[in-house]
Homo-oligomer: A and B are copies of this chain.
Amino acid sequence: MRAKSFTEERRRAQIVEAAIDTIAELGYARTSFGQIAKRAGLSSTGMISYHFRNKAELMNQVVSDVYAVATGIVGARIDEAPTPGGQLRAFIEASVRFYRTHHRHMRALTEIWLAERSEERAVPHQQELQALQGIFRAGQRSGEFRDFSPEVMAVALRHALDGVALHLGADPDADPDRYADELVTLFDLATRKEPR
């Protein structure tokens, strides 16, 4: 496989962007090459097939692009925090903020993941769940966190965040900072060892 040219990459990115828009607007089920091509200003769906082997490859690209952006942003905030407790707070705050600034991306990500779950039976968020479990284990070792199941806690947090994303997306008037604060407190109380 040859390296892709600059023009090629730009076109692919343009198509991926159009795909994100389409999914966010119509939902996965109603997203077709025709709709994507229209939004990308392409003259033919053939153009999409030209740049992506098939629909699955396009969707994979959407997922990995969004994931890359998200983990870049959120990961940076986590790394700045000194303690596991701080990292947990950073993760929640950065995630909620990302949902607000990139809510089209999140929407698309969720739609794809859910639609394709049926096909591949995969459990999503594996990477992120691993990272969260790492934070939890570190906090338990350092004595900052109480003794709980890192797996269950990670799943709970990760999906609570998904729920929040959904509600923030559906209600434009909702205040993301308040959601973030509430979640921070919730999981702080649920994980800390010593009651305040």
Residues on B with C-beta less than 8 A from A38 are none
Contact with B along A18-34 (1 / 0, CB 8 A): 00000000111110000
Complex interface: stretch among A61-69, A76-84, A116-124: A116-124
**Chain A contact residue count (CB 8 A cutoff):** 45
Question: Which residues of A line the B interface, CB within 8 A?
Answer: 26-30, 110-111, 114-119, 121-124, 148-149, 152-153, 155-160, 162-164, 166-167, 170-171, 178-179, 182-183, 185-187, 189-190, 195-196
**Known A29-B116, A29-B119, A189-B190; further 15 A-B contacts with Cβ < 8 A:** A27-B115, A27-B117, A29-B115, A110-B114, A114-B114, A122-B170, A123-B166, A152-B178, A153-B182, A156-B182, A156-B183, A158-B163, A162-B163, A186-B190, A187-B190
**How many copies of this chain does the complex contain?**
4
Q: Please, how many angstroms separate the alpha-carbon atoms of A185 and B192 in the complex?
A: 12
The closest CB in chain B to the CB of A114 belongs to: B114
**Closest Cβ of chain B: how far from A196's Cβ, in Å?**
7
Residues on B with C-beta less than 8 A from A123 are 166-167, 170-171
